[in-house]
Amino acid sequence: MPLVTTDQGEVILLDMLVSVLGDELELHLFSNDHTPDREDTAADYDEADFSGYVSQLCENWSNAAEVADKAQTTADPKQFAHNGGSEANDIYGYYVLDPVSGYLLWAERDQNAPIIMSALGHTYTVTPRLTADSEYP
């Protein structure tokens, strides 16, 4: 039997989740050509290391709302910039880790991947998002 989460319940649950962990979740970029899968762990992602890269925190989550039949919330956009050093990466997307356990929580591949981060002036902006959906169609 499928689990039924109401539309309103999805929104409330997302708001509760980000109110507890939201501003502490760690946003990382990955540089391996990988498509996220539900069985992934953090070891499946090669963290970016281009010159100037540093992971960032997801902050200021929006109030969850129904978007395309799913509850969704987004954090403030985060910009990553190459500082002109010699290290370059192709970026395929982002992943989010729990800061306490280091466990992978979710990941999203960029539909325009790879994004080349190889020289001063190259930037990449990510808007972290989290969705919730009922198992019932």
Tens-digit pLDDT profile for residues 45-92: 999 999 999 999 999 999 999 988 899 999 999 999 999 999 999 999
Q: Is the pLDDT of residue 22 over 80?
A: no
Pairing of strands 78-81, 93-97: unpaired
Q: What is the pLDDT of residue 137?
A: 63
* pLDDT for res 68: 86
Tell me the per-residue pLDDT of 83-136, one tens digit each, with 9 for 90 and over.
999 999 999 999 999 988 999 999 999 999 999 999 999 999 999 999 988 876
Sign of the CA dihedral with 11 first, then 12, 15, and 17 last: negative
Helix (H) or strand (E) holding 130: strand 129-132
126's enclosing H/E stretch is: strand 123-126
Res 133: pLDDT: 86
Cβ–Cβ under 8 Å, residues 41 and 97 = no
Cβ 30 vs Cβ 45: under 8 Å = yes
What is the residue-wise DSSP string for 19-64?
HHHGGGPEEEEE-S-----TT--GGG--B---TT---EE---PPPP
